[in-house]
Amino acid sequence: MSISHPVFASFGGAIEFIFTPQSSNVTGGKSVGGLSQTIELILKQLEVTVLALALALIIALPIGLYLGHRGKGELLAIGLGNAGRAIPELALIALVAALIGVGLVTVTPVLAILGIPPILTNAYVGVRQVDRAIVDAARGIGMSELEVLRKVELPLAIPTVMGGVRGATIAIVATATIAPLAGVVTLGDYIINASIYGENGRLAGAILVALLALILEFGLAALQRRLTSKGLQLKTA
């Protein structure tokens, strides 16, 4: 297959758009896109993602760990978690924007809502599935409940907990593309405004968001390996 195939041609245009400013019909001669605008938008996308993820972690992680440790609230942790995945973000962002206004204060909690279900559910399941014999042994040697959670259950639950965090991150970073509809100019700007950036800009936006998701995924996978205690790590034969 030659490089002139339309699909490759449009990828080429999109890649060029990321690095070099392009002319646009509707901006009165000002060029759009290019590296400086792209970096600005990427940083905004990351800022929103980090804030929303942090908020989701602060809310969901303690609740999930606590419920898992106590072995209570399965309905809450799993049911609420699953129900939360069904919330339409676009409708929610419009609703919240109409109620409390726009900007980071709106976008951050709306995206955090997207991150809470996987973190909550995985934290609960992760702690819950730790072998009860080990937990009993920990209590038997005189650990306090907090120590049991911190020194025994959490380390054993790390792979599952991190799975939730990774899922939440991917969902948040991808959905942060709707933020320009509520006053925060992220990479979604390239995707939403085809009349300004053209199809190349739209594709460039999609490619960049996908790349960001991949980079975050690999970064968190590496972090997970470091956090997982040696004894738990699966060795590739």
Determine, following the binding rule CB under 8 A, whether residue 105 of this chain makes contact with another protein.
no
Determine, following the binding rule CB under 8 A, whether residue 126 of this chain makes contact with another protein.
no
CB 80 within 8 A of CB 112: no
Determine, following the binding rule CB under 8 A, whether residue 57 of this chain makes contact with another protein.
no
Q: How many angstroms separate the CA atoms of 180 and 204, rounded?
A: 16
In terms of Cβ atoms closer than 10 Å to its own Cβ (0-12, 13-18, 19+), residue 205 is: buried
Segment contacting another protein (CB under 8 A): 50-58, 69-77, 138-146, 208-216? 208-216
The sign of the dihedral angle between the CA atoms of 206, 212, 217, 218 is positive
Q: List the one residue from 97, 104, 105, 143 that touches another protein (CB under 8 A).
A: 97
Cα distances (Å, whole numbers) of residue 17 to 14, 45, 169: 5, 18, 26
Residues 129-168 vs another protein: string with x where CB under 8 A?
------------------------------x------x--
Cα distances (Å, whole numbers) of residue 219 to 154, 212, 225: 20, 10, 10
Q: List the one residue from 35, 39, 83, 90 that touches another protein (CB under 8 A).
A: 90
Determine, following the binding rule CB under 8 A, whether residue 182 of this chain makes contact with another protein.
yes
Determine, following the binding rule CB under 8 A, whether residue 236 of this chain makes contact with another protein.
yes
- Find all residues with CB under 8 Å of 217, minimum gap 6, and list them: 166, 169, 170
Q: Which is nearer to another protein, 58 or 221 (CB)?
A: 221
Q: Which is nearer to another protein, 63 or 175 (CB)?
A: 175
**Type of residue numbered 214:** L
Contact set with another protein (CB under 8 A): 24-30, 32, 90, 93-94, 97-98, 101-103, 159, 166, 170-171, 173-175, 177-178, 180-183, 185, 188-189, 191-196, 199, 202, 205-206, 209-210, 212-214, 217-218, 221, 224-225, 234, 236
